[in-house]
Amino acid sequence: MRFLKEQVPLKNNFKLIGSMLLILFLFFVHNLGFAKEDFSSIEGTYRCWKYNVGGAGKRCASPPLKIYADGTYQMSVEKGTVKMLKEKGKVKIVLSESKIRGPGTLLEGNQILFEYTYNGWEHSVTYLKQQE
């Protein structure tokens, strides 16, 4: 049996493969899953503009949603952080402390639409960004 004199150590192969997998992972996370969290584009005060329950329009009584440049928000006494996720070409807004609403969808850059089910009823609430 003949062996090649110049064999590449197996240890180096593992380092190379590990580095390549890390680069691929970072590429996919950066380009496929998440929008850059630059909150300056959504910073501001949003007022309830449209409210619909089970297909019927209702009076908007929800408190204003305030999003700050540091990625925090406040809605009445509720305070938390904001996450922006890219999903199917749309930017989703997730409020960390919201117990009822799911992710909201950023519309036209100045509206956020929340659609969720509460007590068996389909709700949709659209917030409109106020001019400062």
Q: What CATH number is given to the structural domain containing 92?
A: 2.40.128
Domain annotation covers residue 98: yes
The string over 52-80, giving b where at least 16 C-beta atoms fall within 10 Å of a residue's C-beta and e elsewhere, is beeeeeeeeebeebbbeeebebbbeeeee
Q: pTM, whole model, 2 decimals? A: 0.69
Q: Could you tell me which of 98, 125, 128 has the C-alpha nearest to residue 114? A: 125
Domain annotation covers residue 59: yes
Which structural domain range is residue 112 located in? 39-129
Q: List the structure tokens of 80.
A: 């938390």
The string over 102-126, giving b where at least 16 C-beta atoms fall within 10 Å of a residue's C-beta and e elsewhere, is ebbebeeeebbbbeeeeeeeebebb
Query: What are the tens digits of pLDDT across the range 83-98?
Result: 999 888 899 999 999 9
Domain annotation covers residue 1: no
Return the pLDDT at 34.
Answer: 46
Q: Which residues of the chain have pLDDT under 50?
A: 26, 29-36
Domain annotation covers residue 49: yes
Distance, C-alpha 112 to centroid of its chain: 12
Spatial separation of the C-alpha atoms in residues 15 and 2, rounded to whole Å: 27
Structural domain count of the chain: 1
Domain annotation covers residue 2: no
Domain annotation covers residue 95: yes
Return the pLDDT at 87.
Answer: 85
